[in-house]
A and B are shown apart, each in its own frame.
Chain A
Amino acid sequence: MSEATRTDVPAHTAEPERQEQAYGERHATVIVNQNPIYDGRLRELVPLVAVNFLLNAVTAGFYRFWAKTRLRHYFLSRISFLSDRLIYTGTGKELFVGFLVIVGILVPFFGAFDWLSNYALGQGMVAFGAAQAAYFASLMFLFHAAVYRAQRYRLSRITWRGIRGGQSGSAFVYAVRAMGWSLATVLTAGLAYPLMRTNLMGYRINNARFGQQEFRFDGGAAALYGYWLLPWVSVLIVIACVIALVGMVGTLNIAEGIESMLEEDKAAVGDVMLKWSPVVYGALGLFFLSGFWYRAKEVRHFTGHTTFGELSFTSRLGGLKLFLLYLAYGLLLSLVIGVAIALLAAGVHYFDWRALEDKDSTATMFIGLGVVVLLLGTGSLLKPLIMQNLLVRMFCNSLAVKGRIETDKLLQSQMQAPRRGEGLADALDIDGF
């Protein structure tokens, strides 16, 4: 910084440095050829996560709205593009109000469906099946609507250089599309999955905008199929095995239930299951593993076919890195939860529960609930520190942005931003950031 410390400002100074000299700016146009930079540090993250964890434990998860907001605020403020950091403008209060609104709707909804299922049980298996199917279908619909609404809320709360993000389109339309494509995927035993993802992602990206400039997605699904082959084949293998097993069991005589099966028939089914279970497990493992490479391909494909005005994006995200990240996280998590369960078991073994029986039952209930929440929450400490932190870093490092951006033409968004957020996503336990 040069002559900034003076008490008067001359009429003409040397050209404002920084931006122009670094990026060849003429007027307000910037030539871009860089990736967003993430500079989050563990030593900043640890106290943040620790405070979140404690307050969450003390309030039995009630604090999560403010905890999530603090985390998002931190992560976004550590991402910078063209030397300008992002800002998250959401508040815990908005998430909290969204939660209240949705709870008022969902509790009666869940309760009514629960009773309906119980009642349908008495009317026979067909009615029960229908009730369950209706329940699942509505849950799925709500899930997709929630995903869309959550994206809208989050985009509207992200600011770069003062310009807000936004999203048009309709959550209802999106959910209907998602249900239709899900059906197609099921009917084709998973073959339609890349098509579904492309279609749905396309809808989400094409409706996303920053300021008054829209994002554009123009990719097809063909490129994904190379990576989807292996996962799909694994799914087919599992389905084939299940069908074979069901077919075999169907030919046997099971009039009265499993107990009445002939011993030799039981042994035969057991034999078959034993012989073929390595195949099934192998196929599931293959599906799980190849999924990482497919997921990375998706990110590269969707990113590569997205444009923002004259900016284009490229991602170099690799499947191996993604796999290693999840592997490390999974191992660490198992270790922590294992220790927590061991402690719990020791407590149950040594503690005299009878002594509590005569005391106030409400107190017992709260103590029990508190202990459970505390133990299970231990795992949640690791997620932001490892998973989210590294994911953001990986994503930023692998993303290259190229092109031109005319900063004086990128105008502020005029869209109406949602006033409260994500109640549905919270209630349906939809994750992400």
Chain B
Amino acid sequence: MTDYPGQFNDGKTAVSHAVAVRPETDALTVIDTHGTVLARWPWRKVRLIEAVTSGRPVRLSSRADMDANLTIDDTSIVPILQAFAPYLRREPFDRQRILTAAGIVVTLALMIAIFAFGPPLLARPLAKFIPVSWEDDIGAQTERLVHRMFAGGETCSGAEGIAALEHLVARLAAVTRTPYKLRLTVADTPMVNALALPGGRIILFRGLIEKAGSPNEVAGVLAHELAHVTLRHPTQGLIVSIGWSAMLSALTGGASGSSDAVAQVASELATSAYSRDVEAEADAEGVAILERANIDGRGLIGFFNLVRKLEKKGLKIPEFFSSHPLTDRRIAAIEAATSGKGGPAMSKAEWNAVKQVCD
């Protein structure tokens, strides 16, 4: 058995000992130039500090003496080491490592589950704890923001039209249970959209009123928005987006150095996925509200079809689609839910007044 020259650090001082490394039957022995045995490492404890690379020295340590290390320039010792210590390259699978690996897999799975399903599941119960006054404050602020952003602050204020709309809203609200004071405003902008904000505020956009063919269509949209409010979707949505962005910031950390951008995009994608479920819920509840208020539920379908027709004609209404994605599945679900019973949402006179609310 030949000895190999090496450098040894005993982990107690910074002295570098020139040593002879002797592989023996049961251990790797390190002997200094005076013949003193500096270390005897049982083979099953010997480990490689780093993978063996050509042109680089071999560096070893012992699991029983983690601070000490041994450097051997002559790589021809490697086959001998492998013969004596077959687990040298591959760390043995002891119980601790298996547990660690299992723990990591479980954590990863848990995190994915929490990330995908957590915020939506938590949002519903959490929303109940938010005081109505908080929602009202946030809603008021958002309402001002929306009006300023989309209509430069201009609202439609035709007295009779507003009265007719509020009458309709009251009729719908009478058959629902909500702790909020419902407030309706009409934003003076050609955009076709309607929004429900936390705290019971509903915003109709002038474009929607202009394009609607019958009062039942407007009633359908209002019932849908009212459903959002009753089911506390706006507040839940806020909790969900906060939860997701907080989680994503923590999760991705500095992964690609652009964690903010990733978090933003992922947030958007995740939120839109969640929105689709929420929209379906509001559809069903909206139809139920219409039925209870004795208004023909097919008005909502009529409105969706109208919007789709406009879109096919080339009239793009992106803002509506982004917050109310229309799919065949959704329309079919609404059609299945309506019974066709019920009457008009308002009188002809009221409808004329509504059509002129922005004049």
What residues make up the interface of A, taking CB atoms closer than 8 Å to B?
A: 1, 4-7, 9-13, 15-19, 28, 44, 56, 59-62, 64, 73, 77, 82-85, 87, 89, 93, 96, 99-100, 102-103, 106-107, 110-111, 114-115, 118-119, 121-123, 159-164, 211, 257, 259, 357-358, 361-362, 364-365, 368-369, 372-373, 376-377, 379-380, 383, 405, 407-412, 426-427, 429-431
Contact = CB atoms under 8 A, between A and B. Distances in A.
Contacts of A12: 34
A113 B50 CA distance: 44
6 contacts: A9-B33, A16-B33, A115-B242, A163-B11, A427-B253, A430-B254
Interface stretch (B133-141, B163-171, B296-304): B133-141
Taking chain B's interface residues, is the majority helix, strand, or loop, or is none over half, making it mixed? mixed
Given A114-B246, A161-B15, 15 more contacts: A1-B5, A4-B3, A7-B2, A7-B3, A17-B18, A56-B256, A60-B252, A77-B49, A103-B251, A110-B245, A110-B249, A118-B242, A119-B134, A119-B138, A407-B15
B35 interface: yes
B269 A5 contact: no
Nearest to B277: A361
B12 A411 contact: yes
Interface string B103-131: 01001100000001000000000000000
Contacts of A99: 253
Nearest to B17: A16
Given A85-B71, A123-B137, A361-B276, A163 B14 contact: yes
Given A1-B73, A110-B250, A373 B262 contact: yes
A152 to B, nearest CB: 19
A379 B3 CA distance: 48
A76 B55 CA distance: 17
Given A103-B250, A407-B14, A412 B67 contact: yes
A412 B15 CA distance: 11
Contacts of A5: 2-4
Contact of A410 (B13, B243, B256): B13
Interface in B217-274: 238, 242-243, 245-247, 249-259, 261-262, 265-266, 269-270, 272-273
Q: Shortest 6 CB-CB distances between A and B: which pairs?
A: A61-B255, A122-B137, A16-B18, A361-B273, A162-B9, A4-B5
B108 A62 contact: yes
B246 A111 contact: yes
Most buried by A among B4, B10, B13, B100: B13
B343 interface: no
Nearest to A114: B242
Interface of B: 1-5, 7, 9-18, 20, 31, 33-35, 49-50, 53, 57, 59, 66-69, 71, 73-74, 100, 104, 107-108, 116, 134, 137-138, 140-141, 148, 152, 238, 242-243, 245-247, 249-259, 261-262, 265-266, 269-270, 272-273, 276-277, 325, 327-329
Contact of A376 (B9, B34, B258): B258
A77 B137 contact: no
B278 to A, nearest CB: 11
